[in-house]
Amino acid sequence: MSKALIAVNAGSATLKFRAYSPDGRTLLARGMVDHFGMEGGVLELDAGSSHQRLTLAGSSRDEAVGAMLNLLADHALQPLAVAHRVVHGGADYHAPVVLTAEVLDDLAALIPLAPLHQPVSLAVMSAFARLDPHLTQIACFDTAFHARQPAIATRFGIARHWHDAGIRRYGFHGLSYASIARHLPELGLADARVVVLHLGSGASACALQAGQSMASSMGFSAADGLMMGSRPGNLDPEVVLYWQEHEGMDVAAVRQELYKKSGLLGVSGGISADMRELLASRDEAAREAVELFCYRAAREVASLATAMRGLDAIVFTAGIGEHSPEIRNRILKQLAWLGFEADLAANLAHATRLTAASSPRHAYVLATDEEGEMARQAAALLAGDVEL
């Protein structure tokens, strides 16, 4: 039986996991549980040339996690530790940390700031703890990558005591940005000013200067910034007050509107939160949703360039960013004035560089690897090196 680091990325309906060598550098197996915690759950695992697919009998998260561990054991892989993606670490967690009762309490207190993600992560941690109380579990934080941003980039224009109480800009998708930053030197961008567009069902943008986060589109919560699949992004706070005062909406209804009914889904009139379906639709509302998504992304690039006093390159990543030439091309067209000369053929061919050789500035596409970043961070923590 070989020891392996298990990186777990829990969503509302899926559980993605990967097994790595103890140093976090070699991928040994990958898998996913679809319909996680629901009836009809399906577990898939790829290890070497082997592919297995199992239908789960029950609906509990414990059963799904147990089946995952058993399947890994069938391939002679025993968890050394489990690393969890945690969306919000608040003001206190700037590096990966081993889970304790105190840490779990702190993460539970942050549920109001990440209501879509934090409860699921905590539930998965509990499932692992019930199945193996002695298993080392590690939290890896999306907010940690942004912890060294300039102080000015973290402030809202509100009273100082609120900032001191933790109401500030945190930034998210940090594991993704850390993964991209690791590969920038391969593109000759080690010291460059780069805006990374993480475009998926959740979407954000980050200004990276010499690989360090300088500013991000997301702020206090993961509902801020760019328009997303079902989240609005930047929104005048008076809208929320209007809903409460004039539409009679309580906090739960407002939260549902912000996290489940807005974004691409809302602007399209309920057609879909899936960019692929909207691009295929002939409906005018679908067209407008796509147009607004691209407009907001392009506008954010220009805004974040100000945080670095210039811009050298753009990198697209995540589901939409990596796989939609149409969206990449639309955004680049809106940024032509900044010196991005799109190469449509390269874009359609999914080349790494998306701009012409003669372009004053270049745009690239890179695959993000959040699980790989988690494994690397967990290995560093276990080795006693938390200066990541």
Residue 287 lies in a domain: yes
Check whether residue 39 and residue 133 sit in a common domain. yes
> In the predicted model, is pLDDT for residue 12 greater than 80?
no
> Percentage helix, strand, coil, to 5, in the chain?
40, 20, 35
Round to whole Å and give the CA distance between 227 and 369.
22
pLDDT, tens only, 221-232: 989 999 999 999
Token pair listed for 182: 């690791």
169-198: pLDDT as tens digits: 999 999 999 999 999 999 999 999 999 999
Residue 386 has a pLDDT of: 58
pLDDT in tens, 268-279: 999 999 999 999
In a domain, 202, yes or no: yes
CA distances from 70 to 47, 54, 371 (A): 14, 12, 20
The token pair that represents 19 in the structure block? 């097994």
The Cα–Cα gap between 249 and 354 comes to 45
**Is residue 174 in some structural domain?**
no
Question: Which range has the worst mean pLDDT, 24-38, 176-190, 273-287, 345-359?
Answer: 24-38
Q: Which residues of 92-111 are buried (b: 16+ CB within 10 A; e: fewer)?
A: ebbbbbebeeebbebbeebe
Type of residue found at 344: L
pLDDT tens per residue, range 84-143 = 999 999 989 999 999 999 999 999 999 988 888 899 999 999 999 999 999 999 999 999
Query: Which pLDDT does position 1 carry in this prediction?
Result: 77
Give CA separation, 334 vs 85, 122, 190, 211, 331, in Å: 34, 41, 26, 25, 5
- Residue-level pLDDT at 388: 45
Report the distance separating Cα 178 and Cα 87, nearest Å: 14
Looking at the structure, tell me whether residues 119 and 215 fall in a common domain: no
Of the residues 116, 141, 166, which one is the last residue of a structural domain?
141
- Model confidence at 293: pLDDT above 70: yes
Model confidence pLDDT, tens digit, residues 63-100: 888 889 988 988 899 999 999 999 999 989 999 999 99
Tokens representing residue 25 in the block: 């550098």
Q: What is the pLDDT of residues 229-267, one digit of tens each?
A: 999 999 999 999 999 999 999 999 999 999 999 999 999
Same domain, 192 and 136: no
Residue 302 lies inside a defined structural domain of this protein: yes
The residue assigned the tokens 């149409």 is: 326
Give the 3-state secondary structure of residue 297: helix
- Number of compact structural domains in the chain: 2
Average pLDDT over residues 43-62: 84
3-state secondary structure 13-51: CEEEEEEECCCCCCEEEEEEEECCCCCCCEEEEEECCEE
Residue spans of beta strands (DSSP E) within the chain:
2-10, 14-20, 27-34, 42-47, 50-55, 77-86, 97-98, 137-141, 193-199, 203-209, 212-216, 313-317, 362-365
Q: Are residues 360 and 304 in the same domain?
A: yes
- Tell me, yes or no, whether 55 and 116 share the same domain: yes
Whether 382 maps to a domain, the answer reads no
What CATH number did the domain enclosing 259 receive? Answer: 3.30.420.40
Within this chain, do residues 126 and 201 fall inside the same structural domain, yes or no?
Answer: no
Indicate whether 375 belongs to any domain: no
Same domain, 193 and 262: yes
Q: Which residues sit opposite 306 in a β-bridge?
A: none
DSSP at 311: -
Residue 152 domain-assigned (yes or no): no
Same domain, yes or no: 131 and 195: no
- pLDDT for 98 equals 96
Write out the two tokens for 71.
């399947």
CA distance 64 to 71: 11
User: Cα–chain-centroid distance for residue 19?
Assistant: 19
**Residue 90 and residue 228 in one domain:** no
| Structural domain boundaries, residue 99 | 2-141
In a domain, 28, yes or no: yes
Q: Which residues contact 35 (CB under 8 A, 6 or more apart)?
A: 13, 14, 41, 42
Mean pLDDT of the chain: 94
- Do 238 and 131 lie in a common domain? no
Q: Are 370 and 176 in contact (CB under 8 A)?
A: yes
The conformation of residue 335, written as its DSSP 8-state character, comes to: T
Residues 135 and 211 in one domain: no
Distance separating alpha carbons of residues 117 and 3, to the nearest angstrom: 28
Are residue 106 and residue 252 in the same domain, yes or no? no
Neighbours of 248 (CB within 10 A): 8
**Active site residues per annotation:** 142
